[in-house]
A and B are shown apart, each in its own frame.
Chain A
Amino acid sequence: MTSSLTSSLVTTAVGVLLLTAVLQTWRRSAAGSVRLLVVQGIALATLVAALGISHGDVQLLLVAAVVLLVKAGLLPWALGRTTTGRLNERDSAAQPALSLLGATVLTMFAYAVSDPLRGGEQSATARAIPAGVALVLIGFWILLTRRAAVGQLVGFVVLDNGIAMVAFLTSDGLPLTVELGATLDVLLVVVILRALTTRMRTTHGGTSVDEMTELRD
């Protein structure tokens, strides 16, 4: 009973994670992207909690609480915080149809190549690994296609969520200290990049990455 419940929890969480990542490629407004990140963080925390329940591991439940706090709370808060109070940036160069197509191809690619990571296992967690790889690839895709600074940050966070997801699914959770360090490092990186965005607005007059053309060969 419990095992079927946790395995369906894992499947649902993985589905939500993949769906939010694909929707990210379609959203153009920064505020919408940040809201999607909150949902993605909650799904990631649910996944970790479900793994913790199925292994009977209290440490994993602690990690789930940290993940929920950072990925669904602090990270989106740091991303969405602006001096004006409202985040109303739009990525004018984004092409939703093309981005969605790219995300589809990358997801199929991820399912095709991640057999070695599964190691021939058929459990619900092992079947979810390709979705994690897809999240990593989609994160890269967002990083490549977005021109606005906040959009690129969202791509970085999706990439990191994907890596964390693969880490939880393949190694049954990393040591608590490493997981804490990794999560806090990502939070710090996002805070620093957010501070740089504010400075970019004063020096460049905008946050488009296209404006940054001074350092070239």
Chain B
Amino acid sequence: MAVLLWLPVLVPAVMGALITWRHSDAFARLVPVGVALVILVCGIALVAKGQVTTSWVLRADAPASYVLLCVGAVAVVALWGGLTSTPLGGRSEALICAFLAAMSLAVLSDNLGVMWVAVEATTIATAFLVGHAGTRGSTEAAWKYVVLGSVGVAIAFSASFSSMRPAALAARRHCRGSP
């Protein structure tokens, strides 16, 4: 059931691209909710299936399935609640879709490097959403969010390759044939 792994990543990405390409207000408003529903349904299906699913660089085990379910549930509730507010004007909905795609990829990726890139992508996608209002407070919030978020993620990057270091050293010693 590799399709359950690819749908949460590809559907938001494709729909986000569609919105930027051509958007009517009604379409742009409903797409993020629909995308979130797709993620939620895939999360439920993966949890119900209850076994490890892999496909190329994607992999879902039990915790990943539950986290994907949580991402879908939170996104559906938040975006459904946002339907009544004023329209955001196309670009923001596309950013929401990009954020959901990156979030699903971060949860489902089977590679520390890809996961790191996806987590950083969530920061980038949401940066303009935080500063959307354009007021003093929102600009300040966006600045602090991006600086703190990206510095934190940069440290996570150094941690993720430092954790591979002992294995790399051992492999090198093995190659040289010394103990």
Q: Is the CB of A177 within 8 A of B131?
A: no
In the complex, B137 has a CB within 8 A of chain A: yes
Is residue B142 within 8 Å, beta carbon to beta carbon, of the partner chain?
A: yes
With A156-B150, A156-B151, A214-B140 in contact, is A170–B114 under 8 Å at CB?
A: no
Q: Which of B113, B143, B155 contacts A174 (CB 8 A)?
A: B113
Let me know if B135 and A193 touch, CB within 8 A: no
Whether B53 sits at the interface, judged by CB under 8 Å, is: no
| Residues on the B chain within 8 Å of A214, using CB | 136-137, 140
A193 to B123, CA, bound (A): 12
Complex partner residue of B161 from A136, A149, A167, CB under 8 angstroms: A167
A182 vs B123: C-alpha distance when bound (angstroms): 13
B70 at the interface (CB under 8 A from A): no
Q: B117 contacts A152, CB within 8 Å?
A: no
A119–B155 Cα gap in the complex (Å)? 20
Contacts A117-B162, A160-B154; is A189 near B141 (CB within 8 Å)?
Answer: no
A203 touches B151 (CB 8 A): no
Residues B104-156 near A (CB distance < 8 A): 111, 113-114, 116-117, 120-121, 123-124, 127-128, 131, 134-137, 139-144, 146-147, 150-151, 154-155
A204 to B134, CA, bound (A): 11
Q: Is the CB of A215 within 8 A of B113?
A: no
Decide: A212 near B143, CB < 8 A? Known: A159-B154, A181-B117, A203-B134.
yes
* Measured CA separation A55–B141 after assembly (Å): 45
Q: Is B169 an interface residue (CB 8 A)?
A: yes
> From residue 113 to 171 of chain A, which have CB atoms closer than 8 A to chain B?
117, 119, 121, 136, 140, 143, 149, 152, 156, 159-160, 163, 166-167, 170-171
Q: Is B48 an interface residue (CB 8 A)?
A: no
Task: Please tell me if A93 contacts chain B, counting CB pairs below 8 Å.
Answer: no
- Report if A119-B169 is in contact (Cβ < 8 Å); known contacts: A167-B158, A174-B113, A175-B113: yes
Q: A192 at the A/B interface (Cβ < 8 Å)?
A: yes
Asked whether any CB of chain B lies closer than 8 Å to the CB of A65, the reply is no
Q: Is B52 an interface residue (CB 8 A)?
A: no
Give the CA-CA distance A158 to B151 in the complex, in Å.
11
B residues near A149, Cβ cutoff 8 Å: 143
User: Nearest chain B CB to A59's CB is how many angstroms away?
Assistant: 14
Whole-angstrom distance from the CB of B101 to the nearest CB of chain A?
A: 14
For residue B168, CB closer than 8 A to chain A, the reply is: yes
Q: Decide yes or no whether B157 CB sits under 8 A from chain A.
A: yes
B96 to nearest A CB, angstroms?
Answer: 16
In the docked arrangement, what's the CA distance between A39 and B116, Å? 27
On chain A, the residues within 8 Å of B116 by CB distance are 178, 181-182
CB contact between A192 and one of B117, B124, B136, B166 (< 8 Å): that residue: B124
CA distance A186 to B111 in the complex (A): 19
Q: Which residues of A contact B134 (CB under 8 A)?
A: 199, 203
CA distance A86 to B136 in the complex (A): 25
Q: Which residues of B contact A196 (CB under 8 A)?
A: 127, 131, 139, 142-143, 146
Q: Which of A191-217 contact B (CB under 8 A)?
A: 192-193, 196, 199-200, 203-204, 209, 212, 214-215
> Chain A residues with Cβ under 8 A from B135's Cβ?
203
| Interface residue ranges, B against A (CB under 8 Å) | 111, 113-114, 116-117, 120-121, 123-124, 127-128, 131, 134-137, 139-144, 146-147, 150-151, 154-155, 157-158, 161-162, 164-166, 168-169
The 9 closest A-B pairs by CB, nearest first: A178-B113, A181-B117, A185-B120, A212-B140, A119-B169, A163-B158, A189-B150, A203-B136, A214-B137
